[in-house]
Amino acid sequence: MIWPFIQRRLWLTQNRLITTLAFALALPVFLHVVVNLGMKNLVIRSIQQIPYEQWVAPGLVFLLATITLIPIIYRELFDLRIHHKALQSISMAPLSKVNIIVGFLLTAMLESGFFVLVGLIVFSSLTPLSIGISGYLMIVVYIVVLDILNANVLVFLSLLTERVTIYIMLILSMIVLLIFGSGLVIEIEFYPTTVGQFFSWFPTSQLIRGLRMFLFANIFDWISLVYPLLISVLLLFVNAEFLKRKLNQ
């Protein structure tokens, strides 16, 4: 069931292979220059006394994973839907809407995973990280959960409206909230107590906090994985019902 979705994405990627490789190398360098080189002179160390360039590295990987999901989900579930193209044909297949959503999610995650893998190599070469094999494996685990969560959120936003302007505003709001409300580049503790407590309950905040706890304190918090996964499963079924209603099926 999933293989046709993957074959389709491979075919599309092959048609723009050089551009994809160039983007995969350029994006992590861009994020490193814009965020790390600029902020590390303002924030020397985190509250836990971790050098900023090391503390922010997991956040940059999270940001990279999310950014690379956006164009994939946009094309599959917003652009093709509002222009009545491939999505309608796919929806006529003898598959449940949950299976269709899962197919889109997995193919988007695989393509995003390629960018994240390249990004990890680039970030590791630009930033001194002493986290070991277990640290890199845990990064992969948290990125998978993050991709499941964010892909479901992006699917929901893609099905929410037919207007390009509103869609762009929703995506931009999501990115801003992710960067500043989840603690990717600045610590939530910098906000007033009430605002910080509100942001700390975001699933993405739980994920980045749990990953940093493992990388820098060697503490594994299973709740930081289970909570976002539960939200993702709920969103999956909401999206499947939403897709059914949008396609009038």
- The tens digit of pLDDT for each residue in 107-160 reads 888 888 888 999 988 888 888 777 788 888 999 999 999 999 999 999 999 888
CB-based contacts of 241: which residues, under 8 Å, 6+ apart? 97
- The tens digit of pLDDT for each residue in 29-59 reads 999 888 888 787 777 778 788 888 888 889 9
- Longest Cα–Cα distance of the chain, Å, equals 56
Q: What is the pLDDT of residue 71?
A: 87
Let me know: does 64 contact 146? Beta carbons within 8 Å: no
Enumerate the domain spans of the chain. Answer: 3-246
Other Cβ atoms less than 10 A from the Cβ of 237: the count is 13
* Bridge partner list, 45: 51
